Amino acid sequence: MSLILTSNKKPIIMGILNVTPDSFFDGGLYLKKSKALKRVKKMINDGVDIIDIGAESSRPGSLQISSDEEIARLSPIIREIRNYTDIPISIDTRKSDVIEELLKYKIQLINDISSLSDINLIPLIKKHNLFICLMHMQGNPATMQNNPKYKNIITDISAFFKKKLNLCIKNKIKKDRIIIDPGFGFGKTLNHNYQILKNLEHFKKIHKNLLIGISRKSMIGDLLKKDPEDRLYGTLTATILSIKNGASIIRTHDVRQTKLLLDMKPVF
């Protein structure tokens, strides 16, 4: 099954599968192959288009793990998934050696929070015609929420994306294989996050493939004073605003509810 990005269809649903012990919402729930596969089956039944699998938490304050540990967490679970389905798979990693090891499972997208800080990803993307998601992050997960500052959040992120797009094009990565993500919660204050949400159309003008990862994040919880398990309705409200402002890929923990929301898109 191939991943197809087209601007004339409703947004694509990217379902989250964290095989981590410490992710902010579902850490530790899907470490076993059987539980991970059950989660995948449910997402497929609920209408997911692509599954984003990550083995390294990027929550604020988290520390980087080794490539070996990341591969050890990912490989058995992806193998199990591939024995069941050919659903498009995205790998949430910033490491080229992790991707190189997982290519045998016919992955289609690299979801890179560091936006090609590992330049060895570039030849892999080109050779295997992979999609690449370039996310904006100020700092790194361990330090990113330590008083983030910008001259102008929208123009600063726009300049970042233009630079990264130029890097990709210079290295002959096809433009239609590139996705951009403004990185809600990655080196941003609450005010920064909502400025981004209100100005997504600005980023859409820079590049049409715009991914939004807003699901159950602290920008929802801080506003509503709710823990992650009680942030669904806030997430769906922010998702509607994202779609109205140009989002083409929705990364979510809640596939069924997001699919129902997207079915209402004609009346937005």
Active site residues: 217, 251
Strand-pairing partners, residue 131, are 109
Task: At 211, give phi and psi (nearest 5°).
Answer: -100, 140
Give the up-direction half-sphere exposure of residue 84: CA atoms within 13 A in the CB hemisphere. Answer: 17
Distance of CA 156 to the CA centre of its chain: 20
Q: How far is CA 112 from CA 36, 158, 179, 209, 257, in A?
A: 22, 17, 10, 15, 26
∠ at Cα 80 (78, 83), nearest 5°? 110
At 141, the amino acid letter reads P
Position of tokens 């992955």? 107
At 164, the amino acid letter reads K
